[in-house]
Chain A
Amino acid sequence: MSESLIDVAAPEATHPDDQFDTRRRPGLWTALRRGKGLAGLILIGAVVALGLLGPLLAPHGPTEQIPGANLVGPSGAHWLGTDEVNRDILSRTLYGIRTDLLVVFLAVPIGAAIGILVGLVSSWWTFTDVLAQRLFDLVLAFPTLILAIGLTAFVGPGLRTVFFVIVAVELPVFGRLTRTSVRTVREMPYVEAAHVVGAGSLWQLRRHVLPNSLEPLLVQLAVSMSVAVFIEGAMSFLGLGVRPPQPSLGSLIRDGVRNMYDAPFFAVGPLAVVVALVLGLLLVSQALAEARRA
């Protein structure tokens, strides 16, 4: 960073700084075009495509019982085999993906949006800030699964409950992160500079604080989505989630465990999809986090 130009009559003309760091910082998105980020995106894309095209690809209906095909191993007719009530596991997996996509791409963004809003608004005044932080801390003190079990106790099992749990879990996560991020950005002199020239709270929030606080939230969104897959899986696995006969990845794995000794092939398909989805989201979050640090 050379800046020694007293020997130059017109500073702006031949300023060495003209050649200095003119490249802009590459946007966060470029991190998704290579390496980890790309691998993650491909994994997610594949699972999403399978889910969206599910009804076209599935050879059978999700609850259709095929006569004479009881716990059949993988074959040309049933690529992933059939279950104990003669249903095609591949078809059920494809439909199960749709349930999980709903949770990942709907429940998490809803929880995140509410959390961001609450975090943003509450952090502006000391009183609401303290109150909101105490509440967030209380909810965050509980491990997700205990919270899920507790909530199920009140609402009963079902997809709705999974939705509810994910929103309830993500709300304080995003609320607290927003608050931390907002607090950091708010202390930045450029926000103070806006304040000094007479900009009101709303102006500062909208023009400076929010845009500059978004990046860490984006990374968290990817992490939270992978956690959502895990929550759906765990809840359905424990019988607190999606109710039969509706398929979800978690409930399919649960059925697989029940038939583990008779049909070890059962859980392979759903397991692979779960791992691909979680891994994909995790890789994307890592790529984004690394790009932010660079």
Chain B
Amino acid sequence: MTDPEGTTVTTPLLEVTDLAISFSHPRPAVRSVSVTVDEGEVVALVGESGSGKSMTARAVIGLLPDGAKATGSVRLRGEELLGLPEPELIRYRGRRVAMVFQEPQTALNPVRTIGWQIGEALRAHGGVRGKAARARAVDLLREVEIPDPEERLGYYPHQLSGGQKQRVVLALALANEPELLLADEPTTALDVTVQAEILALLRRIRDRTGTSILIITHNMGVVAHLADRVVVLRQGEVVEEAATRDLFADPRHAYTRQLLAAVPRLPGPDERVHAVTDDDVPAVAADAVAALEYDDVRVHYGSRMRGRVLPAVDGVTLRLERGQVLGLVGESGSGKTTLGRLAAGLVPLAGGSVRVGGEDLVRARGQRRVDLRRRLAFVHQDPEASLDPRFSIAEAIREPLDVHAVGSRKDRDVRVTELLDAVRLPASFARRRPRELSGGQRQRVALARALTLDPELLIADEPTSALDVSVQAEVLELFADLQQRLGFACVFISHDLAVVNKVADQVAVLRAGRVVESGSAARVFGAPTHDYTRQLLAAVPVPDPTVRDATGPALREQHIAS
């Protein structure tokens, strides 16, 4: 039943035809989308932001935002759902069509226990009560592979990890044995190893219960890993539809090809064969001054007064040569962001030393500190928040020059034009405000601003993780180009191993505040020596459906309980 071609279906389970959704805005969110999902099938809706993929899923279950108007048709086993009044829709929701959301941190009610919330889901459709409900809740938690289910029933959401929360959300969705599961970016907010577990779980659930799944995602790796069939959306319209293997092997539409090309990749297993060594790194003179040196660095979080001191960084020693890019990778809580902020002097140091161009930044005072600051720059993850909404683009880029009173007003304006050109934005953007720019454009502005003072060291904290994959590709290319031309050293922080692989010369893999493995990017990703690095690499969903059949599930079964 995993093979859609093998079953003879007259009416598909879900049939969405000519769906269009519009708000009061001039541009419709969804123009015309038709999708079908067959019995036991996993279909992926793929697209970038603004493609209308989430709206489509929400329209199926009648949960569109206020003011949205939907036309067309949504049929579940031939029964029309679109336009049904709320009391009718309620009988479908959860009972026949259930939904799982992106953000497990907020998807559960924080002041009710897990048990209560599952019970509420069961009660909603007049299901079992009392002891039987409790037994069913335990079964459900067991089904989503949560350890000690009896005990967990009494837990509140904040007592669970992100991955466990997503499992509970899944248990809620499965409570009334729905025929169709809508999963809206179910793993996007999770760490890569947890993502791998949840994806594996979704597959097992489909295999065990025969529930059909419509998964909404922007991640081609997830698509390749899970979907039987793919529907590619762009600006509210279906661009291409094909079986997963065909789509990856032979994308028909130009947009699909570009989308696939934009996905950064890790070296595949066959590429890993000729292992590289760290010696590939160009040798530097022993006495050369490093752009950045961490020497047995320690950082604590929490207050000593309350007696709860947690190490965020625990004895890290790293060295970044001039003109090189150091990638810091790791999952949440690994300390990678703290290391980056430390280099920018934003975090108090508890032990060891940080030297920028041979000088101690943390201990520098007064004018020396200001001079040191001029030599480094920081690019923040969220391009929207890192620009003052009241400043024009020109003012934002010029600010570092204003702060240090560099040159005349005219010189500064000339420099702004230069920089806008360098990040490939038209000079006319100078007068705009940040909110008039798109995410990718804002991140270019942030990059221009960081380069204003010709820094020797750039610290980039997840600079592309808020961007769509095609925009990310553009920004990464621009970044690599500028780095080559201007020759600044860079600390590049990312949770995305493939992105780091694309830009970094050196890589350090972090876990719980310690460096697990470091070396040249080619060596670490091509021939990892540490188990954790291998685990991380194995967990990344490879955007190639042939890989999942060969190696995928078996590898991933290893680390389920965490």
Contacts and interface: CB of A to CB of B under 8 A. Distances in A.
Contact of A189 (B49, B345, B382, B435): B382
B403 A188 contact: no
Contacts of B433: 24
A198 B389 contact: no
Contacts of A203: 403
Contacts of B425: 12
B426 interface: yes
Nearest to A199: B403
Contact of B470 (A4, A25, A208, A211): A4
A11 B370 contact: no
A208 B388 contact: yes
A207 B468 CA distance: 32
Contacts of A4: 48, 50-51, 234-235, 255, 259, 468, 470-471
A25 B435 CA distance: 9
B98 interface: no
B374 interface: yes
B159 interface: no
A7 B253 CA distance: 11
B453 interface: yes
Interface string A6-28: 11000110010100111011000
A7 B258 contact: yes
A197 B48 contact: no
Which secondary structure characterizes the binding site on chain A? loop
A30 to B, nearest CB: 16
B436 A22 contact: yes
Interface in A125-150: none
Contacts of B255: 4, 7
Contact of B385 (A189, A195, A211): A189
A3 B403 contact: no
A7 to B, nearest CB: 6
B424 interface: yes
A1 interface: yes
B424 A11 contact: yes
A25 to B, nearest CB: 7
B473 A2 contact: no
A207 B452 CA distance: 19
Contact of B262 (A6, A22, A24, A195): A6
B474 interface: yes
Interface size class of B (residues with CB under 8 A): 35 or more
Nearest to A24: B433
B195 to A, nearest CB: 23
B373 interface: yes
Interface string B323-358: 000000000000000000000111000000000000
Contacts of A20: 436, 438
B254 interface: yes
A192 B346 contact: yes
A190 B403 contact: no
B470 A1 contact: no
Contact of A196 (B261, B377, B426): B377
A98 B467 CA distance: 58
A121 interface: no
Interface string A171-204: 0000000000000000011111111111100010
B435 A196 contact: no
A193 B378 contact: yes
B309 interface: no
B377 A17 contact: no
B434 to A, nearest CB: 9
Interface size class of A (residues with CB under 8 A): 20 to 34
Contacts of B51: 2, 4
B387 interface: yes
A213 to B, nearest CB: 11
Most chain A CB within a 10 A radius of its CB, from B234, B262, B424, B426: B426
B36 interface: no
Interface in A58-108: none
Given A12-B425, A192-B380, A197 B403 contact: yes
A207 B399 CA distance: 10
Nearest to B426: A12
B390 interface: yes
Given A6-B262, A212-B390, A197 B50 contact: no
A96 B345 CA distance: 59
B437 interface: yes
B378 A3 contact: no
A217 to B, nearest CB: 15
B438 A198 contact: no
Given A7-B254, A190-B387, A2 B48 contact: yes
Contact of A3 (B346, B376, B446, B468): B468
A5 interface: yes
Nearest to A12: B426
Interface in B440-463: 440-441, 446, 449, 452-453
Nearest to B386: A189
Contacts of A11: 424, 474
A191 B374 CA distance: 16
B370 A198 contact: yes
A212 B234 CA distance: 37
A192 B467 CA distance: 21
A91 to B, nearest CB: 48
B366 to A, nearest CB: 11
B552 interface: no
Interface in B132-152: none
A21 to B, nearest CB: 6
B400 interface: yes
A211 B390 contact: yes
Interface in B229-279: 234-235, 254-255, 258-259, 261-262
A26 to B, nearest CB: 12
Nearest to B262: A6
B547 to A, nearest CB: 24
B382 A198 contact: no
B471 to A, nearest CB: 5
A203 B390 CA distance: 15
B436 A21 contact: yes
Contacts of A198: 370, 373-374, 400, 403-404
A24 B435 contact: yes
Contacts of B404: 197-198
A286 to B, nearest CB: 21
Contacts of B261: 6
Contacts of A190: 385-389, 391
Contacts of A199: 399, 403
B395 to A, nearest CB: 9
A2 B388 contact: no
Interface in B465-487: 467-468, 470-471, 473-474
Contacts of A21: 435-436
A2 B49 contact: yes
B380 A189 contact: yes
Contacts of B344: 196
A11 B424 CA distance: 8
A1 B55 CA distance: 14
Contacts of A6: 258, 261-262, 470, 473-474
A4 B391 CA distance: 27
5 closest Cβ pairs, A-B complex: A198-B373, A2-B50, A17-B438, A197-B400, A189-B386
Interface of A: 1-7, 11-12, 15, 17, 20-22, 24-25, 188-199, 203, 207-208, 211-212
5 contacts: A3-B440, A5-B471, A194-B399, A198-B370, A208-B388
Given A17-B441, A191-B388, 13 more contacts: A3-B438, A4-B51, A6-B473, A7-B255, A7-B258, A11-B474, A20-B436, A21-B436, A188-B385, A193-B446, A197-B449, A198-B374, A208-B388
